[in-house]
Amino acid sequence: MAADEREELEKRVDELYQERINLEKEINDLNLIKIEKLELINNELEKKSEWMDKERLKAIRERDNLLRKVRHSNEKNWKNALKMVSVLGVLDLVVVPLLIKLLGIPLQWIFVSMGLVTFFGIMLIANYMSGTSPFNTGEIRKALTVSLITVYLAFVPLMAFGIFPFPTGASAQTIVTNFTWIIGTVIVLYFGTRPVEEYIKKMHPK
């Protein structure tokens, strides 16, 4: 009996040893599979990282190109705007007075012509610089303010130096004072309406 038990025990030990070997082999196989999977994942991550680096560099180049285009566009817009302002100045200071002089139109019409030319000119320039298609209230407000100030700056020297004849029964002081009040009111409304609009928007949000 002792010999049989010993043989059975040895057989059992051999089986356990074989199972251990099989388990170690399975563990090694699993480790190899895991290593292969990790290597595949690592390769994919490296490829994705390289692709993302390329895309990032591409995005940086596109951003730089866009900024360069915007900068050149802004420079071009400002140059064109300066040209338009120069043309507007020539129209106000040279063309309009010359036409009124040549056509024999009363001198009073120089202010009307100057105001209209300045109004539409500034409105076109403001619309061009803003890049919007329809005219908005801000552009019209700018054009109206600039045209009135331009007429005022032309009117006061002409009145002061006696180039422009005074209306019958009116004094230069009265006319200049009233016109100054009008210009002051326009300037206050121009700079005062925007804060009021912002305050109303904050108090009554949609």
| Token pair belonging to 79 | 């140059």
Lowest mean pLDDT of 19-28, 76-85, 164-173, name the range: 164-173
pLDDT, tens digit (0-9, with 9 covering 90-100), for 30-46: 888 888 888 888 888 88
pTM of structure: 0.53
Residue 164 in contact with residue 106, Cβ under 8 Å? Answer: no
Separation CA 102–CA 170 (nearest Å):
28
Burial 105-117 (b: 16+ CB within 10 A, else e): eeeeebbebbbeb
Residue 187 in contact with residue 147, Cβ under 8 Å? Answer: no
Separation CA 95–CA 82 (nearest Å):
18
pLDDT at 103: 86
Percentage of the chain surpassing pLDDT 90?
Answer: 0
The pLDDT-based confidence of 133 (bands split at 50, 70, 90) is: low
| Token pair belonging to 89 | 């100045």
